[in-house]
Chains A and B, each alone.
Chain A
Amino acid sequence: MRAALELARAELKVAVLSKVFPTRSHTVAAQGGIAAPLANSSEDNWHWHMYDTVKGSDYLGDQDAIEYMCRRANEVVVELEHMGMPFDRLENGKIYQRPFGGHTQEYGSAKMAMRACAAADRTGHAMLHTLYQQNVRTNTQFFVEWMALDIIRDPQDGAVLGVTALEMETGEVSIFQAKATLFATGGSGRIFYASTNAFINTGDGLGMVARAGLPLEDMEFYQFHPTGVYGAGVLITEGVRGEGGYLLNKDGERFMERYAPNAKDLASRDVVARAMTTEIKEGRGCGPQKDHVMLKLDHLGAEVINHRLPGIREIAIKFANADPIRDLVPVVPTVHYQMGGIPAKYTGNVVVPEGNNNESIVPGFYAVGECSCVSVHGANRLGTNSLLDLVVFGKASGEQVIKDARTMPGAHRTLPKDAGDYTRARLARLDSNAAGERVVDVLTDLRRAMQAHCGVFRFPDELTLGVQKIKTIAERAGRTFIKDKSKVFNTARVEALELDNLVETAMATIVSAEARKESRGAQARADFPERDDKNWMKHTLWYKEDNRLAYKPVHLKPMTVEAFEPKKRTY
């Protein structure tokens, strides 16, 4: 919506397609805030923010893109404020800012930076509303409950000419022809069994890109949040540990004291998630399956739980059947955020290798947000940097589309004769198959296999077996069938189409993870526990065809400042 706004303001004709009403996108779930070095609450500047982001990425982030994001952070956040986003304020009227994990002062010193701007516990919600209202004002045309299915490319030069899309209301497929097609389709956390993501996060953009013969970048890197409610996935915020909550194993031991003697339960997300997994793996997990650990809060008292941690008690009671005022809450490391995605530049342009050029622009195609890999998050994202990524690159790609549009001829290119056939064939199969695999069975097996074989810790034999399993599951996904052949708002049909996207995403993830023989950021391999900059400081590119992998170098050179040399990432 940030990109659409830029285009609509320039009086270009913009159509925004969304599977659900735009303000019900998964961004509503973001509570923590959006990062910007405004220096309202503590000394800060974009250099420090850049350093934290590069280090957080475990040196896999592209330093030019990171510089770009951090330099434009203040501008886009102030713009949101001017559009009416209700940020929390200081007494002097400036935007209130608070600390957040991984954000520091003076290049990683022990002093935390106050960099997160929030609108109470509804930052994402407020951002979506602000941008939606601005778009309504500028007459952006919304196509709500339209699901994009496949990309249409020009066979001559691979340019993207638009998409096919399903209108839920009628069940019919139409072609959207466009001079510029921009994907902001969000994450794909639903490929894992334990996920904090809403059902809608099925990696549709990634599936479409893979089917169109384009690569996906760094898909092995998924961030796990330490405290998802066991069984349900619902997130319990870091704030709980910030207030003094801590984790226990089956012996009632506060095990984080062993893994991170200083930071303990407040160590960074990946450290805590790995410690929890080790406890479970070594038989010290809780419950009959010994497959989770416990979060202890009762010592904080009802007052703190009810007032400083709003909503946590309700979540624990509803999804874990545990009242945190008295009971321990069962939690597991839960998939939260996808660092990889559609390879894009900081201008939003999708880039792929061609000949000697690792980053040749795909004409007419742009990607922004969690579905893209710019790559500012590298192997590990810092909290509050994702919302920032959406607005900085949303704006930047809007600007780029306007620039690119100036050099385009007035008329649309002609569509290839077979445009839309591929999509129609996919639907025809679903509409005609009288028997086959049930979507929900294939989906459940997929999510379980990813959880078991490609989780927090990755073991070589598990990964190899996992790749085989996902291949079998992919074949089964090709034989799915739906009983209900009706067209209008047929959710079963939609779920079958989403499954295809989840399968591509899962395959990209596990194949890339198996091939990367090192541990970096969110990828932790039992057999290669160290980061290997000599051999692996490079981005993975996965292609659907034959599960082919290619690699491209990380951009180590920022735009204007000196590069940050790789160091060991310790907190």
Chain B
Amino acid sequence: MEALALHRLKWKCRRGLLELDLVLNEFIEKRLEEKDLKELNELLEMEDNDLWEIVSGRSDRYDAGHGGIVARLRAV
């Protein structure tokens, strides 16, 4: 994986909610694959509270194209 892309992604995973910090950090450290980069980057554009509702499974309001990454994050 390109180092710069990973660096950028890591900083984008610094969030206002501890819940997201914990899940995203765990995901990046242990599960991230090359194929996740694009989708994850797009998903991280969301607001913290909306993103957490999706990751925690309380909401399904995400783009159809992000189903893969959402499922992987929910599994963390």
Contacts and interface: CB of A to CB of B under 8 A. Distances in A.
> In terms of DSSP, what is the predominant structure of the interface of chain B?
helix
A197 B58 CA distance: 22
Interface string A225-237: 0000000111100
Given A311-B56, A489-B8, A234 B22 contact: yes
Interface string B10-49: 1100111111111101000000000000000000000111
Interface in A478-500: 484, 486, 488-491, 494
Contacts of A419: none
Contacts of A415: none
B18 A199 contact: yes
A125 B48 contact: yes
Given A28-B49, A314-B57, A489 B7 contact: yes
Contacts of A23: 16, 47-48
A494 to B, nearest CB: 8
Contact of A198 (B10, B18, B49): B18
A315 B47 contact: no
A196 to B, nearest CB: 6
Contacts of A490: 7
A195 to B, nearest CB: 8
B7 A26 contact: no
Contacts of B4: 486, 488-489
B16 A20 contact: yes
A488 B57 CA distance: 34
B16 A24 contact: yes
Given A125-B49, A232-B22, A489-B11, A26 B16 contact: yes
A239 interface: no
A25 B57 CA distance: 23
A310 interface: yes
Contact of A234 (B7, B19, B48): B19
B1 interface: no
Contact of A310 (B8, B22, B47, B58): B58
Query: Which of B16, B23, B58 has the most chain A CB within a 10 Å cutoff?
Result: B16
A145 B11 contact: yes
B64 interface: no
Nearest to B16: A28
Contacts of A26: 16
Given A200-B16, A315-B56, A28 B11 contact: no
Contacts of A25: 16
A226 to B, nearest CB: 17
Contacts of B8: 489
Interface in A516-532: none
Nearest to A30: B16
Interface residues of A, number: 36
Contacts of B16: 20, 23-29, 198, 200
A538 to B, nearest CB: 34
Contact of B14 (A200, A234, A315): A200
A29 B56 contact: no
Contacts of B47: 23-24, 28, 125
A424 interface: no
B54 to A, nearest CB: 11
B76 to A, nearest CB: 8
A199 B4 CA distance: 21
Given A234-B19, A310-B58, A318-B23, A199 B14 contact: yes
Interface in A307-321: 310-311, 314-315, 318-319
A22 to B, nearest CB: 10
Given A29-B17, A486-B3, A489-B4, A314 B56 contact: yes
A122 B18 contact: no
Contacts of A484: 3
A436 to B, nearest CB: 21
A200 B8 CA distance: 16
A25 B20 CA distance: 13
Contacts of A488: 4, 7
Interface in A148-203: 168, 195-200
A489 B14 CA distance: 12
B72 to A, nearest CB: 14
Across the A-B interface, the 5 shortest Cβ-Cβ residue pairs: A28-B16, A314-B56, A489-B7, A24-B16, A199-B21
Interface of A: 19-20, 23-29, 122, 125, 145, 168, 195-200, 232-235, 310-311, 314-315, 318-319, 484, 486, 488-491, 494
Given A199-B14, A314-B57, A486-B4, 8 more contacts: A19-B14, A28-B17, A125-B49, A198-B18, A200-B16, A232-B18, A234-B18, A315-B56
21 contacts: A19-B14, A23-B48, A24-B14, A28-B17, A29-B18, A195-B18, A197-B18, A198-B15, A198-B21, A200-B16, A233-B18, A234-B18, A234-B19, A311-B53, A311-B56, A314-B56, A315-B56, A318-B23, A488-B4, A490-B7, A491-B11
